[in-house]
Amino acid sequence: MTVWPGSAYPLGATYDGNGTNFAVFSESAHKVELCLFDDDRNETRFELTEVDAFVWHGYLPQVQPGQRYGYRVHGEYDPVNGERSNPNKLLLDPYAKATTGVIKWGSSVFSYNFGDPLSRNDEDSAQDTMLGVVINPYFDWAGDRHPRTPYSDTFIYEAHVKGLTKLHPGIPEDQRGSYGGVAHPLMIEHFQKLGVTAVELMPVHQFINDSALADKGLSNYWGYNTIGFFAPHSGYASNGELGQQVQEFKGMVRSLHDAGIEVILDVVYNHTAEGNHLGPTLSMRGIDDKAYYRHVDDSPEYYMDYTGTGNSLNVGHPHSLQLIMDSLRYWVTEMHVDGFRFDLASTLAREFYDVDKLSTFFELVQQDPIVSQVKLIAEPWDVGPGGYQVGNFPPQWTEWNGKYRDTVRDFWKGEPSTLGEFAERLTGSADLYEQSGRRPVASINFVTAHDGFTLADLVSYNEKHNDANGEDNNDGESHNRSFNFGVEGPTDDPHVLEMRSRQQRNFLTTLLISQGVPMLLHGDELGRTQGGNNNGYAQDNEISWIHWDKADAPLMEFVAAIAHLRKDHPTFRRSRFFDGRPVRRGEGEPLPDIGWIAPDGNAMAPEDWDSGFGRSIGVFLNGDGIRGKDMRGEPITDDHFLILLNAHTDSVEFRLPEDEYATAWEIVVDTAGAGVSTEPRMAGEAITAQAVSALILRQYKGPEPDGDNSVAASLIAMSGAATTPINTPGRPAV
């Protein structure tokens, strides 16, 4: 087979309709061999003799999609000085757009002999490692377009490709747990019922299972162990055809876009699966160790580890940065995704040592005409010094707000002295984001995520129960801010079950009426439990998968109703922070855009905020005080709302504020299920918030033309109370 000179750009294997161009960067290489494999893994080697700016390249006119390949890199092997080239290790192309095979854990995939990390192991790894696959880049997108949902209208659903549908009885068995399963019509119907506008998929870049987990009979279920930044994970394809994962992923995106749902990827650019100095040699370690990984300055045998996983990508090297940026652009332009959530994003800001929001990575993102235009979400921490950076990312970014999670949990648990910070979190966390010119949507609000308790477990367990992970229950967070209502785990006690259900509704209501962008963990709307396991990273089984046959249907209806309340009323998704200034439109006294109301109906006094025992608060949201204009340039207005939150273990009597706010109110949500009514409640009237419950009241404007006096009928909180559900057009029936 003839090797033509080819081109140094683009990197990776690129099929053009006639043949394939191969290009790989290595500054440390003395020689690079391209290795092609047939169906039986018989190998044919071709030396790449063309080198431009340390990119080794060649064009093979006969190579078609489906061809398996890898590289062998010849160079220095000197681990003490951070050099680990060994041509006996077949290496996966960092730019491979698809992969095939799995890692067979044994001595061949390690560059050293066990027991002596400085030695050299010359066993050949070709039969025991992953191969790249040349893909067909052509796909009928059928006019697909990015939905480009504004952040203020966004509702994110964090999901695991496999766990989401693996046990779904309505999805064909061969599609369960796959990309096709995520986009099945039943799943799209579920997303739309909930009002979800974006699905955030846990890692789908090609990842591998750690040898330590394999030895325990476990696997890396979450997928935060990337080995290929361009390849969709092959294990999520519905069949094993070479390159099928690429076509199926694109089909998934196209179907979700057709339904108006964006696709956001959870990406892991902070480290790779090759681990520390005792890890395997699978790809970048053998191609150019120093270029791709951060090493300890005075001991280059070892790797800098800001992630707790063994290594950190070298974001101070131009080719490592190029890898990240090329990958991001590829997923936007070729795979049509709509944004990224960056795992342990603080690591990407460590160009030298400290976290630096002016680092080269952020500068590259800022000026990139493609990447800068999609949703960019940071997990704003890592395990290195000064790694907790909530509120400190550049203005273009949004952030997982860990302070929101902790404060909301503390408030509803009844912790003392939480009112002030709870108010900050409920209103968009201006204390974190306003000073940098950002808006409330910079805060990605969540109560639960993949890492930690599910919502059902948050209200059912005081302690973690991670025995299945094989680490003697020493893994996972021990301070969960959870409360089990007196019984650890499952119970038949009706009072405990009612309080747990109520608390779940409290969390969900708070999440969906808070300013910022809400994110829901998959299955929380269904009452999913992991049996108290708060670190299910290794549980690729029924512990982590959604049990659709056990779904809490009333809870799902409640989530859908509250989400549609949010969608219908812009007062819950403002694009600017509250400023407290009085606003008047039409007749009447000017009112502030927000007001904080004590249980006695008066404005909160300083001593109310400072009291350590305060557990109850009212919030007035002025529908005339929304700063912003609609697409026609008209001021955005809405109904007035009053939110009453009671975290006490006893009921609390609230007195509705005097009529300068509104002459009458109607209760549209009561998480205790007792107070929803079509009857108006007059200003100054007393109203009871049951123990550990939330009430949402809307300004009463009189009977609706169709005779339905209130949206309350479609927003009833499901608690077992005797209620009569009524269908309201455009909203779910409850």
User: Is residue 328 within a helix (H) or strand (E), and if so which, with residue range?
Assistant: helix 318-333
Smallest CA-to-CA distance from 6 within 55, 52, 58, 49 is with 58
**DSSP-based three-state secondary structure for 145:** coil
Q: Rounded to an integer, what distance in angstroms lies between the CA atom of residue 271 and that of residue 673?
A: 48
- Sorted by sequence, the CB contacts under 8 Å of residue 138 that are 6+ apart come out as none
Residue 540 is a catalytic residue: no
222, 202 Cβ separation under 8 angstroms: yes
Q: How far is CA 184 from the centre of its chain?
A: 21
Residues 168 and 458: their CA atoms lie apart, in Å, by 24
Both structure tokens of 641: 């709302």
Give dist(CA 618, CA 645) in Å, integer: 6
63 neighbors 88 (Cβ within 8 angstroms) = no
Phi-psi region of 294 (alpha: psi -120 to 50; beta: other; left: phi over 0): beta
Asked if 119 and 343 touch (Cβ cutoff 8 Å), the reply is no
Q: How many residues are present in the chain? A: 734
Q: Does residue 493 carry a catalytic annotation? A: no
Beta pairing, strands 131-133 & 68-75: antiparallel
Of the residues 289, 379, 524, 639, only one is catalytic, namely: 379
Report CA Rg, the chain.
28
Residue pair 13/21 in contact (Cβ under 8 Å)? The answer is yes
Report the alpha-carbon distance of residue 302 to residue 296 in Å, rounded: 6
Catalytic one among 210, 289, 343, 552?
A: 343
| Of 456, 451, 455, 477, nearest in space to 465 by CA | 477
Host H or E run for residue 207: strand 205-207
Q: Which two tokens stand for residue 50?
A: 């063309």
Question: What amino acid occupies position 594?
Answer: I
The closest alpha carbon to 377, from 266, 461, 285, 540, belongs to: 266
Q: Please check whether residue 304 is in contact with residue 294, taking contact to mean a CB–CB distance below 8 angstroms.
A: yes
Catalytic center residues: 343, 379
